[in-house]
Chains A and B, each alone.
Chain A
Amino acid sequence: MSEHIVSPKIYLAIFLTLMAGTAITVWAAYQNFGAFNIVIALGIATFKATLVVLYFMHARYSPKRTQLVIVCSVFWLAIMLALTLTDYQTREQSVSRFAPPAINRAA
């Protein structure tokens, strides 16, 4: 596999997209989208992270086995997040059971 050199033009385009993404994130945070505020924030962050991985970290031009490792990391993360959160979601009392004692309330 021959080495692929990513040109500064692409780097600059990615950088400008990341900047625009940051601006949109801040703008969206000031709007009231109800439950969708967090979805929008995480959606933009994931889009930005994907661009960084694909271009700045050269994943797009990497060998298949490196790409497989990257996809696996996302997969393991998804397992950890999904299974733990479903557990919390389906045990109503569990969260409040772990609540910290009401210290320092008088302050």
Chain B
Amino acid sequence: MHRTGELYGHFETLEQQKESAALGMWIFLVTEVLFFGGLFLTYTINRHAYPTAFGAGSNTLDLALGGFNTVVLIMSSLTMAMAVWSAEVGKKQLVSIFLIATLVLGTVFLGVKVIEYKQKFDHHLIPGSGFDIRYHAEHPTATDNPGKIAEEREELEKAFAKDPDLNAHAQLYFSLYFGMTGLHALHMIVGAGLLVWLIKGSFAGRYTPQYNTPVEIVGLYWHFVDIVWIYLFPLLYLIDRHH
């Protein structure tokens, strides 16, 4: 294809090229909105059908870790936006610094997610034949606070009184928890790969005030993944905290 510098032959100017790329990215993001929208819809219907099981499942999540991850992810959106700004004003070194900061924050998020998944695995909260929502309350480890375990047991007893099939219905919650956070994490991993590619380009000084389309486009993707988490956090972690 005919190309002058960073300008492809079928565009008049770099600006038109950038606007077209952003429009294309947004159209992709529309499909992503509907993709995640289907999952949120499934979540809504099941939560409405089994409110007790969803509340009990939600209360097993670690709010400190989830809250920490929310802060980390929003911070990574800020550093991503700052990387775009740095490119637009021609501060080439700052572009690399902010992109690396974004990648580090994204990796921290995924690391915390691994800790959370491991905890759910240890507590027998993976949907399947070994699933047992009472497991942790009945097999506390030495590090667990006995008062909290007693409270947890009491809450579960109340929940089972309301919904005798709690163990089955809570699996629906955890299937959605792992499905939604898993797909979100997959998007983060793809985003991390894109960031590595951007960082490589930024070391070569590729992004300038005239041409910074890749930073802008990956930024759109990264912020979208942030938005998905903005909804996932209250819907998964904060269903039934006011008891």
In this assembly, does B144 line the interface, its C-beta being within 8 Å of a C-beta of chain A? no
B242-A85 in contact (CB<8A)? no
B78-A11 in contact (CB<8A)? yes
Q: Considering only CB atoms, which chain A residue lies closest to B220 in the complex?
A: A57
A63-B220 in contact (CB<8A)? no
A95-B49 in contact (CB<8A)? yes
Chain A interface SS verdict (over half): helix
Interface contacts (Cβ under 8 Å), in number, total 158
B15-A73 in contact (CB<8A)? no
Chain B interface SS verdict (over half): helix
B134-A57 in contact (CB<8A)? no
Q: Considering only CB atoms, which chain B residue lies closest to A11 in the complex?
A: B81
A52-B223 in contact (CB<8A)? yes
With known contacts A45-B231, A73-B33, A80–B41 Cβ distance under 8 A: yes
In this assembly, does B108 line the interface, its C-beta being within 8 Å of a C-beta of chain A? no
Find chain B residues with CB under 8 A from A100 CB: 168-169, 171-172
Find chain B residues with CB under 8 A from A15 CB: 74-75, 77-78
Interface residues of A in 48-92 (CB under 8 A from B): 48-49, 52-53, 55-58, 62-63, 65-66, 69-70, 72-74, 76-77, 80-81, 84-85, 88
Count, chain B residues at interface, CB 8 A: 60
What would be 23 A-B contacts, judged by CB atoms less than 8 Å apart?
A3-B15, A5-B88, A6-B81, A14-B78, A15-B75, A18-B74, A18-B77, A18-B230, A22-B67, A22-B71, A22-B233, A41-B235, A52-B77, A56-B80, A62-B19, A69-B30, A77-B37, A80-B38, A80-B41, A81-B37, A81-B41, A105-B168, A107-B132
In this assembly, does B60 line the interface, its C-beta being within 8 Å of a C-beta of chain A? no
In this assembly, does B114 line the interface, its C-beta being within 8 Å of a C-beta of chain A? no
